[in-house]
Amino acid sequence: MNAQGPPPPKLPTVKRVAANPTAIPGPIRRSHAVHHNLTLTAREVLAEIEPGLKFMYMTFDGQVPGPLLRIRVGDTVQLTFRNPRENLMPHTVDFHAVYGPGGGMEALLANPGQEKGLYFKAMYPGSFVYHCAVSDLDYHIASGMYGMIVVEPEDGLPPVTREFYLGQNEMYVAAAAGAEGFRAFDFDAMLRENPTYVLLNGQTKAVTPDGFGALKARVGETVRVFFVNGGPNLTSSFHPIGNVWTKVWTNGSFRTAADAYMQTVTVAPGSTLVGDLALPVPGAVKLVDHAITRVVRKGMMGVLDVAGPAQPSIFKPMLPGI
Ligand SMILES: [Cu+2]
């Protein structure tokens, strides 16, 4: 292992690639279909996975996961995909919400400096992953190139107080623990499906008080989590510590009845979960992959900070014997 690693590619350096979990479109309340003009831009950037360790991310719109797109079943979309000249790689998009070859992958394949377009109609409801789909797609997805498109059913989703958006992916980095400087992608580690990191929103501690801030809510509220597992290879066992999925649409399917009071829900790579949490007591709810070594040793954790008065009739620490 080199002390410094290889020289970094010539790309812009940014501090944050972790998506802001609250910067998402609101629920759809209309009862008719509309047309959307949407744009996604491939952004290759350098950023720190953890302090001191720089990595070449590939993203949609500079964030991991890429922007949450939100439409309604029956809506039509004119999607523009841009691959700016400053990038080094070809990119494209495969939308799991789309009927058609490659989910748009062939139509949208763009070299640096190119712009491509796709028209599609949302024929079925659900919450779906989209991801880069060039021939090296595992490399691109593991570098951050995935996101979520929500196709709301005709009658919408049940209302909640707040909504959050999170994405899990593995990262394969040619680095020893504590390494500093730029580090390259580790294809051997990806072949073994043995990632260096398993992360929420692409950077260590991103969705915690030590990173870009915890998710915030208050006692008595109901929150909804839109969760996408980009993979590219590992299944997530998504679990809220100290809580339970009151209602959860597994695999992001809105046509099947939501499950109730589920503790841990498996989310395959290339799939999603939409889950609601009730918040009857204050304190931190940690959102983890219950394949727990990924939490303890590979970084996979987010925090939902629930503020409000103690609720001792539901939960209180007690001294022994009292
Ligand atoms: Cu790509």
148 neighbors 247 (Cβ within 8 angstroms): no
Rounded distance from Cα 58 to ligand 1 centre (Å): 7
Predicted confidence at residue 79, as pLDDT, reads: 98
Predicted confidence at residue 7, as pLDDT, reads: 87
128 neighbors 152 (Cβ within 8 angstroms): no
130 neighbors 104 (Cβ within 8 angstroms): no
pLDDT in tens, 188-203: 999 999 999 999 999 9
Rounded distance from Cα 157 to ligand 1 centre (Å): 32
Predicted confidence at residue 177, as pLDDT, reads: 66
Rounded distance from Cα 231 to ligand 1 centre (Å): 14
Rounded distance from Cα 39 to ligand 1 centre (Å): 15
Predicted confidence at residue 180, as pLDDT, reads: 87
Predicted confidence at residue 2, as pLDDT, reads: 47
pLDDT in tens, 56-66: 999 999 999 99
Rounded distance from Cα 251 to ligand 1 centre (Å): 24
Rounded distance from Cα 270 to ligand 1 centre (Å): 15
Rounded distance from Cα 60 to ligand 1 centre (Å): 9
Rounded distance from Cα 300 to ligand 1 centre (Å): 23
Predicted confidence at residue 178, as pLDDT, reads: 73
Rounded distance from Cα 57 to ligand 1 centre (Å): 10
Rounded distance from Cα 158 to ligand 1 centre (Å): 35
Reference 83, options 119, 17, 39; nearest CA is 39
Rounded distance from Cα 243 to ligand 1 centre (Å): 36
Rounded distance from Cα 143 to ligand 1 centre (Å): 9
Rounded distance from Cα 145 to ligand 1 centre (Å): 6
Rounded distance from Cα 156 to ligand 1 centre (Å): 32
Rounded distance from Cα 160 to ligand 1 centre (Å): 34
Q: How many angstroms separate the CA atoms of 301 and 296, rounded?
A: 9
pLDDT average per 10 residues of sequence, the chain (322 residues): 73 97 97 97 97 96 98 98 97 98 97 98 98 97 98 96 98 84 95 97 98 98 98 98 97 94 98 98 98 97 98 94 70
Cα–Cα distances in angstroms (integers) from residue 153 to residues 32, 52, 89, 253, in the given order: 11, 44, 36, 10
Q: What is the pTM of this model?
A: 0.96
What sections of 74-221 are H helices per DSSP?
105-108, 137-142, 187-191
10 Å Cβ neighbour count for 57?
23
Predicted confidence at residue 322, as pLDDT, reads: 63
